[in-house]
Amino acid sequence: MKLALVGATGMVGNVMLKVLEERNFPAVDLFAVASKNSIGKVISFKNKNVTVIGIEQALEKKPDIAIFSAGGKLSKKWAPLFAKSGTTVIDNSSAWRMESDVKLIVPEINANLLNSSDKIIANPNCSTIQMVLALKGIQEKYGIKRLVISTYQSVSGTGVAAVKQLNNERAKIDGKMAYPHPIDLNCLPHGGDFQENGYTTEEIKLVQETNKIFSTDNIKVTATVVRVPVIGGHSESVNVELNNDFNLADIKQELALIPGVVVQDDTKNNLYPMPITAHNKDAVFVGRIRRDYSVKYGIDLWIVSDNLRKGAATNAVQIAEYIIENNLI
């Protein structure tokens, strides 16, 4: 098994290396791929030294699987070349997510759609992954009519520059700004780029990706994305309007049965999901589960997950594991 990790020296790439080690991924050869500035650097993987190579060299080695986490522009150029050579590409950028012939996969929900002809597979947006995983059982049993989402997203979702801005501000250091405003002691209702319709690109991802993952176009979705001064972990307030009536105890049971979901809903003891407790974990945590009395069939959920793990690295690695286990290479 030959695995190429494109973007191995980046923030998500570092987490992917950690996840691959933790899950004892069955790779005989790991090709750590990065930009020209990083070629020749040595990284550690499974107690071995791995020398970083360029993407051209990685293509020549014809890996069985390539996980891309180096941005949409690079993915658009290179993913088809790897796919043409027989490599199965799992892409973490937004480049391929809404392409009609590319599958958007959260393994616990729709990995069964994959087959050996899928040579480019898209990893969803981090905010989408944690939400749809929590909603899986609810959608299957009751049907979702509408979602109203407010996210509270950590700066690590923007990247290294945003984390540095936050740390600089806390240390009273003047530095490069990743955001148009200070982020420490502040909240920015600005995720991605603003579009003509008033929504941002991050908000549109939640709208479009949710329906694609659930294989429908009937769920009405509106979203507001907010960046908050948290280094790791995305939180979401999700208002769900269902097509059918429900029992709240059954909803909690449905949530508890979903692989990868942990219910933390004991308000008497102040137990509810928080980024600080979700950090460095693969689970999606759900709490504040309550009926919304303003509509006929409504519930409110608070969903938290580590955006660099299940929201990116872990989901991609799980897709790779599924491909191997089911001989889809």
Tokens of 131: 């939400």
Under 8 Å between Cβ of 279 and 233: yes
Q: 70 by DSSP, 3-state: which?
A: coil
Dist CA 73 CA 94 (whole Å): 10
Dump the DSSP string for 11-39: HHHHHHHHHHHHTT---SEEEEE--GGGT
Neighbouring-strand partners of residue 238: 149, 301
> What's the CA angle centered on 40, arms 35 and 46, to 5 degrees?
100
- Rounded Cα gap, residues 219 and 318, in angstroms: 26
Residue 120's contacts (CB-CB under 8 Å, 6 or more residues apart) are 79, 80, 83, 89, 91, 96, 102
Catalytic residues: 126, 234
